Amino acid sequence: MQKNQEFTVTIEDMNEDGAGVGRLEGYIWFIKDTVIGDVVRAKAMKMKKTYGFACLVEVLSPSSFRVKPPCPVARQCGGCQLQAMSYEEQLRFKERKVLNNLLRIGRFSEEEIHMLPIMGMDHPWRYRNKAQFPFGEDKEGRIITGFYVGRTHAIIENEDCLLGVEENRKILEIIKAYMVSEGIRPYNEQTHKGLLRHALIRKGFRTGELMVCLVINGKKLPGSDKLVRMLCEIEGMRSISYSINQEKTNVIMGKETVNLYGPGYITDYIGNVKYQISPLSFYQVNPVQTEKLYGTALEYAELTGDETVWDLYCGIGTISLFLAQKAKKVYGVEIVPQAIEDARRNAALNGIKNAEFFVGKAEEVLPREYESNHIYADVIVVDPPRKGCDKVCLDTILEMSPKKVVYVSCDSATLARDLRYLADGGYRVEKVRCCDMFGGTVHVETVALLTRKAR
Protein backbone atom coordinates (compact mmCIF):
# COMPACT_ATOMS: atom_id res chain seq x y z
CA MET A 1 0.00 0.00 0.00
CA GLN A 2 1.22 3.49 -0.90
CA LYS A 3 0.35 6.80 0.68
CA ASN A 4 -2.87 8.25 -0.82
CA GLN A 5 -3.88 4.86 -2.18
CA GLU A 6 -7.57 4.11 -1.69
CA PHE A 7 -8.99 0.85 -0.38
CA THR A 8 -12.23 -0.69 0.88
CA VAL A 9 -12.50 -2.03 4.42
CA THR A 10 -15.09 -3.08 7.01
CA ILE A 11 -14.94 -1.36 10.42
CA GLU A 12 -14.83 -4.14 13.01
CA ASP A 13 -13.98 -2.26 16.16
CA MET A 14 -13.34 1.18 17.61
CA ASN A 15 -10.20 2.28 19.40
CA GLU A 16 -10.07 4.30 22.62
CA ASP A 17 -10.00 7.58 20.72
CA GLY A 18 -13.17 6.74 18.81
CA ALA A 19 -11.48 5.92 15.49
CA GLY A 20 -12.82 2.93 13.59
CA VAL A 21 -10.57 -0.10 13.28
CA GLY A 22 -10.44 -2.21 10.13
CA ARG A 23 -8.20 -5.10 9.07
CA LEU A 24 -6.78 -5.75 5.62
CA GLU A 25 -4.53 -8.80 5.17
CA GLY A 26 -3.53 -8.73 8.81
CA TYR A 27 -2.64 -5.06 8.70
CA ILE A 28 -4.63 -2.74 11.01
CA TRP A 29 -6.11 0.54 9.84
CA PHE A 30 -7.36 3.34 12.09
CA ILE A 31 -9.95 5.47 10.33
CA LYS A 32 -11.49 8.50 11.99
CA ASP A 33 -15.16 9.40 11.45
CA THR A 34 -16.18 5.79 10.86
CA VAL A 35 -18.54 3.69 12.95
CA ILE A 36 -18.31 0.03 13.90
CA GLY A 37 -20.20 -1.89 11.18
CA ASP A 38 -19.50 0.59 8.35
CA VAL A 39 -18.00 -0.55 5.06
CA VAL A 40 -15.94 2.37 3.85
CA ARG A 41 -13.62 3.57 1.16
CA ALA A 42 -10.56 5.06 2.83
CA LYS A 43 -7.31 6.71 1.80
CA ALA A 44 -3.96 5.70 3.32
CA MET A 45 -2.31 8.62 5.12
CA LYS A 46 0.43 7.40 7.43
CA MET A 47 1.84 3.90 7.69
CA LYS A 48 3.78 2.09 10.40
CA LYS A 49 4.98 -1.48 10.41
CA THR A 50 1.84 -3.22 11.66
CA TYR A 51 -0.76 -0.48 11.55
CA GLY A 52 -1.62 2.70 9.69
CA PHE A 53 -3.92 5.70 9.65
CA ALA A 54 -6.34 6.37 6.84
CA CYS A 55 -8.99 9.00 6.25
CA LEU A 56 -12.58 8.35 5.34
CA VAL A 57 -13.39 8.96 1.68
CA GLU A 58 -16.87 7.50 1.45
CA VAL A 59 -19.22 5.33 3.45
CA LEU A 60 -20.14 2.52 1.05
CA SER A 61 -22.51 0.72 3.38
CA PRO A 62 -23.44 2.45 6.61
CA SER A 63 -23.48 0.67 9.96
CA SER A 64 -26.88 0.21 11.60
CA PHE A 65 -25.45 2.37 14.43
CA ARG A 66 -24.63 5.24 12.09
CA VAL A 67 -26.64 8.46 12.46
CA LYS A 68 -26.34 11.77 10.70
CA PRO A 69 -24.40 14.04 13.06
CA PRO A 70 -26.77 16.86 13.99
CA CYS A 71 -23.89 19.34 14.20
CA PRO A 72 -22.95 20.72 10.77
CA VAL A 73 -19.24 20.98 11.70
CA ALA A 74 -18.92 17.72 13.66
CA ARG A 75 -16.18 16.36 11.44
CA GLN A 76 -14.02 19.49 11.09
CA CYS A 77 -14.33 20.44 14.77
CA GLY A 78 -13.29 17.07 16.16
CA GLY A 79 -14.57 17.87 19.65
CA CYS A 80 -17.17 15.09 19.42
CA GLN A 81 -15.48 11.92 18.20
CA LEU A 82 -18.64 9.79 18.33
CA GLN A 83 -21.33 12.04 16.89
CA ALA A 84 -21.93 9.75 13.92
CA MET A 85 -22.84 6.91 16.30
CA SER A 86 -26.28 6.52 17.87
CA TYR A 87 -26.33 7.50 21.53
CA GLU A 88 -27.31 3.98 22.60
CA GLU A 89 -24.30 2.58 20.78
CA GLN A 90 -22.03 5.26 22.27
CA LEU A 91 -23.06 3.99 25.70
CA ARG A 92 -22.27 0.39 24.71
CA PHE A 93 -18.90 1.56 23.33
CA LYS A 94 -18.06 3.22 26.65
CA GLU A 95 -19.05 0.20 28.73
CA ARG A 96 -17.01 -2.10 26.50
CA LYS A 97 -14.02 0.18 26.78
CA VAL A 98 -14.12 0.13 30.59
CA LEU A 99 -14.74 -3.62 30.80
CA ASN A 100 -11.94 -4.36 28.31
CA ASN A 101 -9.50 -2.35 30.36
CA LEU A 102 -10.52 -4.11 33.56
CA LEU A 103 -10.01 -7.49 31.92
CA ARG A 104 -6.87 -6.66 29.96
CA ILE A 105 -4.97 -4.19 32.16
CA GLY A 106 -6.56 -5.17 35.48
CA ARG A 107 -6.31 -8.90 34.69
CA PHE A 108 -9.72 -9.53 36.28
CA SER A 109 -11.88 -12.34 35.01
CA GLU A 110 -15.32 -11.55 33.68
CA GLU A 111 -16.90 -13.33 36.70
CA GLU A 112 -15.02 -11.01 39.04
CA ILE A 113 -16.47 -7.86 37.51
CA HIS A 114 -20.06 -7.13 38.38
CA MET A 115 -20.95 -4.31 36.04
CA LEU A 116 -24.18 -2.41 36.52
CA PRO A 117 -25.80 -0.69 33.53
CA ILE A 118 -24.20 2.57 32.47
CA MET A 119 -26.00 5.72 33.56
CA GLY A 120 -26.69 7.56 30.31
CA MET A 121 -28.20 10.98 29.78
CA ASP A 122 -31.89 11.51 29.15
CA HIS A 123 -30.96 14.29 26.72
CA PRO A 124 -27.41 13.88 25.40
CA TRP A 125 -27.34 17.43 23.96
CA ARG A 126 -26.88 20.87 25.52
CA TYR A 127 -25.54 19.28 28.67
CA ARG A 128 -22.48 21.52 29.18
CA ASN A 129 -22.94 24.46 31.53
CA LYS A 130 -19.68 26.09 30.46
CA ALA A 131 -18.07 27.12 27.19
CA GLN A 132 -14.99 29.14 26.30
CA PHE A 133 -15.13 30.67 22.84
CA PRO A 134 -11.95 32.01 21.21
CA PHE A 135 -12.31 35.07 18.95
CA GLY A 136 -10.48 35.61 15.69
CA GLU A 137 -11.06 36.88 12.18
CA ASP A 138 -11.56 35.27 8.81
CA LYS A 139 -9.70 36.15 5.57
CA GLU A 140 -12.00 39.13 4.97
CA GLY A 141 -11.33 40.48 8.44
CA ARG A 142 -14.77 39.57 9.76
CA ILE A 143 -14.90 38.73 13.48
CA ILE A 144 -15.53 35.03 14.05
CA THR A 145 -15.89 32.80 17.09
CA GLY A 146 -16.26 29.08 17.65
CA PHE A 147 -13.81 26.36 18.68
CA TYR A 148 -10.23 25.42 18.00
CA VAL A 149 -10.00 22.61 15.45
CA GLY A 150 -8.54 19.52 17.22
CA ARG A 151 -4.89 20.11 18.30
CA THR A 152 -4.57 23.39 16.36
CA HIS A 153 -5.37 27.03 17.01
CA ALA A 154 -7.41 27.52 13.84
CA ILE A 155 -10.95 28.56 14.74
CA ILE A 156 -13.87 26.73 13.24
CA GLU A 157 -16.82 29.08 13.28
CA ASN A 158 -19.60 27.69 15.44
CA GLU A 159 -21.74 29.83 17.68
CA ASP A 160 -24.18 27.11 18.49
CA CYS A 161 -22.31 24.04 19.65
CA LEU A 162 -25.03 21.50 20.41
CA LEU A 163 -23.33 20.47 23.64
CA GLY A 164 -23.66 24.01 24.98
CA VAL A 165 -26.63 26.07 26.14
CA GLU A 166 -28.95 27.82 23.71
CA GLU A 167 -28.12 31.22 25.17
CA ASN A 168 -24.52 31.00 23.87
CA ARG A 169 -25.55 32.03 20.37
CA LYS A 170 -27.37 35.20 21.46
CA ILE A 171 -24.59 36.17 23.86
CA LEU A 172 -21.93 35.77 21.15
CA GLU A 173 -24.00 37.81 18.69
CA ILE A 174 -24.23 40.60 21.25
CA ILE A 175 -20.49 40.49 21.93
CA LYS A 176 -19.71 40.69 18.21
CA ALA A 177 -22.14 43.58 17.67
CA TYR A 178 -20.58 45.37 20.64
CA MET A 179 -17.07 44.81 19.25
CA VAL A 180 -18.05 46.25 15.87
CA SER A 181 -19.69 49.30 17.43
CA GLU A 182 -16.68 49.99 19.69
CA GLY A 183 -14.05 49.12 17.07
CA ILE A 184 -12.68 46.30 19.24
CA ARG A 185 -10.52 43.77 17.39
CA PRO A 186 -10.11 40.10 18.27
CA TYR A 187 -6.77 39.04 19.66
CA ASN A 188 -4.19 37.68 17.24
CA GLU A 189 -1.83 35.09 18.73
CA GLN A 190 0.93 35.72 16.16
CA THR A 191 1.12 39.49 16.50
CA HIS A 192 -0.03 39.63 20.15
CA LYS A 193 -2.30 42.52 19.06
CA GLY A 194 -6.06 42.90 19.33
CA LEU A 195 -8.10 43.03 22.54
CA LEU A 196 -10.68 40.26 22.85
CA ARG A 197 -9.25 36.77 23.39
CA HIS A 198 -12.07 34.58 24.70
CA ALA A 199 -15.59 34.71 26.06
CA LEU A 200 -16.35 32.44 29.01
CA ILE A 201 -20.05 31.66 29.39
CA ARG A 202 -21.53 29.67 32.26
CA LYS A 203 -25.06 28.79 33.24
CA GLY A 204 -26.51 27.46 36.47
CA PHE A 205 -28.82 24.72 35.20
CA ARG A 206 -30.95 24.64 38.32
CA THR A 207 -31.10 28.41 38.86
CA GLY A 208 -31.04 29.63 35.24
CA GLU A 209 -28.36 32.19 36.17
CA LEU A 210 -25.93 33.24 33.43
CA MET A 211 -22.36 34.46 33.62
CA VAL A 212 -20.27 36.13 30.92
CA CYS A 213 -16.57 36.89 31.38
CA LEU A 214 -14.53 38.38 28.53
CA VAL A 215 -10.82 37.62 28.52
CA ILE A 216 -8.90 40.61 27.19
CA ASN A 217 -5.37 41.49 26.19
CA GLY A 218 -5.52 44.82 28.01
CA LYS A 219 -6.52 46.43 31.28
CA LYS A 220 -9.67 48.26 30.18
CA LEU A 221 -12.77 47.27 28.25
CA PRO A 222 -13.98 50.33 26.31
CA GLY A 223 -17.72 51.04 26.31
CA SER A 224 -18.36 48.30 28.85
CA ASP A 225 -21.57 50.03 30.04
CA LYS A 226 -23.02 49.41 26.62
CA LEU A 227 -22.00 45.76 26.68
CA VAL A 228 -23.60 45.31 30.11
CA ARG A 229 -26.81 46.97 28.90
CA MET A 230 -26.97 44.73 25.84
CA LEU A 231 -26.21 41.52 27.73
CA CYS A 232 -28.70 42.28 30.50
CA GLU A 233 -31.51 41.95 27.98
CA ILE A 234 -30.95 38.21 28.13
CA GLU A 235 -33.07 36.52 30.75
CA GLY A 236 -31.04 35.15 33.65
CA MET A 237 -27.99 37.39 33.12
CA ARG A 238 -26.51 37.62 36.57
CA SER A 239 -22.76 38.21 36.37
CA ILE A 240 -20.65 40.13 33.83
CA SER A 241 -16.93 40.64 34.20
CA TYR A 242 -13.65 40.68 32.34
CA SER A 243 -10.42 38.89 32.97
CA ILE A 244 -7.05 40.51 32.20
CA ASN A 245 -4.67 38.23 30.32
CA GLN A 246 -1.80 40.04 28.57
CA GLU A 247 0.53 37.04 28.49
CA LYS A 248 1.65 35.14 25.40
CA THR A 249 0.12 31.91 26.59
CA ASN A 250 -2.37 29.15 25.84
CA VAL A 251 -3.83 29.55 29.32
CA ILE A 252 -7.25 31.06 28.73
CA MET A 253 -8.10 32.95 31.90
CA GLY A 254 -5.99 35.76 33.36
CA LYS A 255 -5.32 36.10 37.08
CA GLU A 256 -7.17 39.37 37.66
CA THR A 257 -10.95 39.62 37.23
CA VAL A 258 -12.73 42.99 37.01
CA ASN A 259 -16.40 42.92 37.89
CA LEU A 260 -18.82 44.88 35.68
CA TYR A 261 -22.23 43.71 36.83
CA GLY A 262 -23.67 41.48 39.57
CA PRO A 263 -22.11 39.86 42.62
CA GLY A 264 -19.11 38.30 40.82
CA TYR A 265 -20.56 34.80 40.83
CA ILE A 266 -23.57 32.72 39.85
CA THR A 267 -25.25 30.16 42.07
CA ASP A 268 -26.08 26.56 41.24
CA TYR A 269 -26.90 23.31 42.97
CA ILE A 270 -25.72 19.72 42.72
CA GLY A 271 -28.16 17.62 44.72
CA ASN A 272 -29.11 19.86 47.61
CA VAL A 273 -25.63 21.39 47.91
CA LYS A 274 -25.36 25.01 46.84
CA TYR A 275 -22.34 26.41 44.98
CA GLN A 276 -21.18 29.93 44.23
CA ILE A 277 -19.29 29.85 40.96
CA SER A 278 -16.97 32.69 39.99
CA PRO A 279 -15.18 32.93 36.61
CA LEU A 280 -12.10 31.17 37.99
CA SER A 281 -13.82 28.48 40.06
CA PHE A 282 -13.72 24.88 39.01
CA TYR A 283 -17.21 23.42 38.67
CA GLN A 284 -18.41 20.21 37.08
CA VAL A 285 -19.49 20.94 33.48
CA ASN A 286 -22.34 18.42 33.46
CA PRO A 287 -24.08 18.92 36.81
CA VAL A 288 -26.98 16.58 36.01
CA GLN A 289 -24.76 13.55 35.44
CA THR A 290 -22.38 14.61 38.22
CA GLU A 291 -25.27 14.23 40.61
CA LYS A 292 -25.85 10.67 39.36
CA LEU A 293 -22.15 9.78 39.50
CA TYR A 294 -21.49 11.18 42.96
CA GLY A 295 -24.89 9.93 44.13
CA THR A 296 -23.69 6.44 43.18
CA ALA A 297 -20.43 6.99 45.07
CA LEU A 298 -22.49 8.00 48.10
CA GLU A 299 -24.77 4.98 47.73
CA TYR A 300 -21.73 2.66 47.51
CA ALA A 301 -20.27 4.20 50.68
CA GLU A 302 -23.42 3.04 52.56
CA LEU A 303 -23.06 5.61 55.32
CA THR A 304 -25.14 5.44 58.48
CA GLY A 305 -23.94 8.61 60.17
CA ASP A 306 -21.17 7.09 62.32
CA GLU A 307 -18.42 6.90 59.71
CA THR A 308 -15.18 8.72 59.24
CA VAL A 309 -14.59 9.22 55.53
CA TRP A 310 -11.59 10.48 53.55
CA ASP A 311 -12.20 12.06 50.13
CA LEU A 312 -8.88 12.11 48.29
CA TYR A 313 -8.41 14.40 45.25
CA CYS A 314 -11.46 16.28 46.49
CA GLY A 315 -11.30 19.37 44.23
CA ILE A 316 -13.89 21.90 45.37
CA GLY A 317 -15.35 19.25 47.66
CA THR A 318 -18.35 18.18 45.59
CA ILE A 319 -18.11 14.58 46.81
CA SER A 320 -17.03 15.57 50.34
CA LEU A 321 -20.09 17.76 50.84
CA PHE A 322 -22.35 15.05 49.46
CA LEU A 323 -20.84 12.54 51.90
CA ALA A 324 -20.78 14.93 54.86
CA GLN A 325 -24.56 14.93 54.99
CA LYS A 326 -24.54 11.21 55.83
CA ALA A 327 -21.20 10.72 57.64
CA LYS A 328 -19.86 11.62 61.06
CA LYS A 329 -16.81 13.33 59.63
CA VAL A 330 -15.32 13.89 56.19
CA TYR A 331 -11.72 14.84 55.44
CA GLY A 332 -10.89 16.15 51.96
CA VAL A 333 -7.42 16.33 50.40
CA GLU A 334 -6.59 18.34 47.28
CA ILE A 335 -3.42 19.73 45.73
CA VAL A 336 -4.79 23.06 44.42
CA PRO A 337 -5.07 25.64 47.22
CA GLN A 338 -7.82 27.70 45.48
CA ALA A 339 -9.96 24.60 45.13
CA ILE A 340 -9.67 24.01 48.88
CA GLU A 341 -10.63 27.64 49.53
CA ASP A 342 -13.74 27.00 47.42
CA ALA A 343 -14.40 23.72 49.24
CA ARG A 344 -14.26 25.47 52.64
CA ARG A 345 -16.46 28.30 51.40
CA ASN A 346 -18.96 25.84 49.93
CA ALA A 347 -19.06 23.92 53.22
CA ALA A 348 -19.77 27.16 55.13
CA LEU A 349 -22.36 28.27 52.55
CA ASN A 350 -24.26 25.05 53.17
CA GLY A 351 -23.83 25.05 56.93
CA ILE A 352 -21.79 21.84 56.74
CA LYS A 353 -19.59 21.67 59.84
CA ASN A 354 -18.27 18.11 59.75
CA ALA A 355 -16.01 18.51 56.71
CA GLU A 356 -12.35 19.41 57.07
CA PHE A 357 -9.95 20.06 54.19
CA PHE A 358 -6.20 19.67 53.68
CA VAL A 359 -4.11 21.26 50.93
CA GLY A 360 -1.45 18.91 49.61
CA LYS A 361 -0.74 15.80 47.63
CA ALA A 362 -2.87 12.82 48.63
CA GLU A 363 0.30 10.69 48.66
CA GLU A 364 1.88 13.07 51.19
CA VAL A 365 -1.02 14.19 53.36
CA LEU A 366 -2.51 10.72 53.90
CA PRO A 367 0.72 8.95 55.05
CA ARG A 368 1.67 11.94 57.17
CA GLU A 369 -1.70 12.04 58.94
CA TYR A 370 -1.67 8.27 59.30
CA GLU A 371 1.78 8.08 60.84
CA SER A 372 1.76 11.16 63.03
CA ASN A 373 -1.92 11.52 63.92
CA HIS A 374 -3.03 7.90 63.58
CA ILE A 375 -6.02 8.86 61.48
CA TYR A 376 -8.62 6.26 60.76
CA ALA A 377 -11.11 5.72 57.95
CA ASP A 378 -14.23 3.61 57.57
CA VAL A 379 -14.48 4.59 53.94
CA ILE A 380 -11.96 6.16 51.55
CA VAL A 381 -13.21 7.78 48.36
CA VAL A 382 -10.76 8.68 45.60
CA ASP A 383 -11.44 10.72 42.44
CA PRO A 384 -7.97 11.13 40.92
CA PRO A 385 -6.98 12.84 37.65
CA ARG A 386 -6.33 10.69 34.57
CA LYS A 387 -3.00 9.38 35.77
CA GLY A 388 -4.73 7.64 38.67
CA CYS A 389 -3.51 7.25 42.25
CA ASP A 390 0.09 7.42 43.33
CA LYS A 391 1.48 4.11 44.61
CA VAL A 392 2.30 5.63 48.01
CA CYS A 393 -1.32 6.73 48.29
CA LEU A 394 -2.55 3.19 47.48
CA ASP A 395 -0.07 1.66 49.95
CA THR A 396 -1.33 3.96 52.68
CA ILE A 397 -4.94 3.06 51.89
CA LEU A 398 -4.00 -0.62 52.22
CA GLU A 399 -2.29 0.03 55.54
CA MET A 400 -5.23 2.04 56.85
CA SER A 401 -7.44 -0.82 55.77
CA PRO A 402 -10.86 0.89 55.54
CA LYS A 403 -13.91 -1.36 55.17
CA LYS A 404 -14.69 0.22 51.83
CA VAL A 405 -12.90 2.06 49.06
CA VAL A 406 -14.99 3.91 46.49
CA TYR A 407 -12.98 4.70 43.36
CA VAL A 408 -14.31 7.36 40.97
CA SER A 409 -12.34 7.47 37.74
CA CYS A 410 -12.18 9.42 34.48
CA ASP A 411 -9.64 7.02 32.92
CA SER A 412 -10.44 3.33 32.91
CA ALA A 413 -6.84 2.29 32.10
CA THR A 414 -5.45 3.71 35.34
CA LEU A 415 -8.60 2.58 37.15
CA ALA A 416 -7.88 -0.99 36.05
CA ARG A 417 -4.24 -0.73 37.16
CA ASP A 418 -5.18 0.68 40.59
CA LEU A 419 -8.02 -1.79 41.19
CA ARG A 420 -5.60 -4.64 40.50
CA TYR A 421 -3.20 -3.19 43.09
CA LEU A 422 -5.96 -2.88 45.69
CA ALA A 423 -7.29 -6.36 44.86
CA ASP A 424 -3.82 -7.84 45.38
CA GLY A 425 -3.69 -5.95 48.67
CA GLY A 426 -6.82 -7.63 50.05
CA TYR A 427 -9.84 -5.92 48.50
CA ARG A 428 -12.65 -7.36 46.44
CA VAL A 429 -14.20 -5.42 43.56
CA GLU A 430 -17.90 -5.58 44.43
CA LYS A 431 -19.41 -3.55 41.62
CA VAL A 432 -18.54 -1.19 38.82
CA ARG A 433 -20.81 1.34 37.17
CA CYS A 434 -20.14 3.76 34.33
CA CYS A 435 -21.71 7.16 33.98
CA ASP A 436 -21.76 9.20 30.80
CA MET A 437 -20.93 12.81 31.48
CA PHE A 438 -19.69 13.66 27.97
CA GLY A 439 -22.06 12.41 25.27
CA GLY A 440 -20.69 12.59 21.73
CA THR A 441 -17.12 12.18 23.01
CA VAL A 442 -15.12 9.06 23.93
CA HIS A 443 -14.85 10.03 27.60
CA VAL A 444 -16.54 8.06 30.35
CA GLU A 445 -16.59 8.17 34.14
CA THR A 446 -16.68 5.07 36.29
CA VAL A 447 -17.36 4.37 39.94
CA ALA A 448 -16.19 1.17 41.59
CA LEU A 449 -16.83 -0.20 45.06
CA LEU A 450 -14.18 -2.29 46.79
CA THR A 451 -14.64 -4.01 50.13
CA ARG A 452 -11.99 -5.42 52.44
CA LYS A 453 -11.84 -9.19 52.39
CA ALA A 454 -12.07 -10.98 55.71
CA ARG A 455 -8.61 -11.89 56.97
User: By the criterion CB under 6 A, which residues form the site for ligand SAH?
Assistant: 282, 284, 313-316, 318-319, 333-336, 339, 361-363, 383-385
User: Least distance to ligand SAH from the beta carbon of 365, Å?
Assistant: 8
User: Least distance to ligand SAH from the beta carbon of 291, Å?
Assistant: 11
Question: Going edge to edge, which strands form the sheet with 115-119?
Answer: 115-119, 427-435, 445-452, 404-409, 379-382, 308-312, 329-334, 355-359
- Note whether 207 and 269 are within 8 A (CB): yes
Catalytic residue flag (residue 161): no
- Note whether 63 and 11 are within 8 A (CB): yes
User: Could you say which of 77, 410, 434, 435 is catalytic?
Assistant: 410
Comparing CB distances to ligand SAH, the nearer of 197 and 361 is 361
Comparing CB distances to ligand SAH, the nearer of 51 and 282 is 282
Comparing CB distances to ligand SAH, the nearer of 254 and 317 is 317
Comparing CB distances to ligand SAH, the nearer of 28 and 285 is 285
DSSP 160-174: --TTS-THHHHHHHH
- Note whether 202 and 243 are within 8 A (CB): no
Give the Cα separation of 32 and 54 in Å (integer). Answer: 8
Residue 42: which region, alpha, beta or left (left: phi > 0; alpha: psi -120 to 50)?
A: beta
User: Least distance to ligand SAH from the beta carbon of 75, Å?
Assistant: 30
Q: Which of 154, 157, 93, 87 is nearest to 127 (CA)?
A: 87
Comparing CB distances to ligand SAH, the nearer of 71 and 319 is 319
User: Least distance to ligand SAH from the beta carbon of 161, Å?
Assistant: 23
Comparing CB distances to ligand SAH, the nearer of 45 and 335 is 335
Comparing CB distances to ligand SAH, the nearer of 362 and 429 is 362
Give the Cα separation of 23 and 339 in Å (integer). Answer: 47
Give the Cα separation of 398 and 392 in Å (integer). Answer: 10
* Alpha carbon separation from 157 to 60, 162, 174, 239 (Å, rounded): 29, 13, 16, 26
Query: Cα Rg for the chain, rounded, in angstroms?
Result: 24
Give the Cα separation of 352 and 453 in Å (integer). Answer: 33
Comparing CB distances to ligand SAH, the nearer of 265 and 313 is 313
Amino acid at position 211, single letter: M
Give the Cα separation of 200 and 224 in Å (integer). Answer: 16
User: Least distance to ligand SAH from the beta carbon of 270, Å?
Assistant: 9
User: Within the chain, what is the greatest distance between any pair of CA atoms?
Assistant: 74
User: Least distance to ligand SAH from the beta carbon of 379, Å?
Assistant: 15
User: Least distance to ligand SAH from the beta carbon of 386, Å?
Assistant: 9
DSSP 233-301: TSTTEEEEEEEE--SSSS--S-SEEEEEESSS-EEEEETTEEEEE-TT----S-HHHHHHHHHHHHHHH
**Which residues, including other chains, have CB under 8 Å from residue 201's CB and lie 6 or more apart?**
130, 131, 132, 133, 164, 165, 167, 168, 171, 210, 211, 212
Q: How many CA atoms lie within 13 A of 296 on its CB side?
A: 24
User: Least distance to ligand SAH from the beta carbon of 343, Å?
Assistant: 8
Give the Cα separation of 43 and 355 in Å (integer). Answer: 57
Q: Enumerate the active-site residues.
A: 410
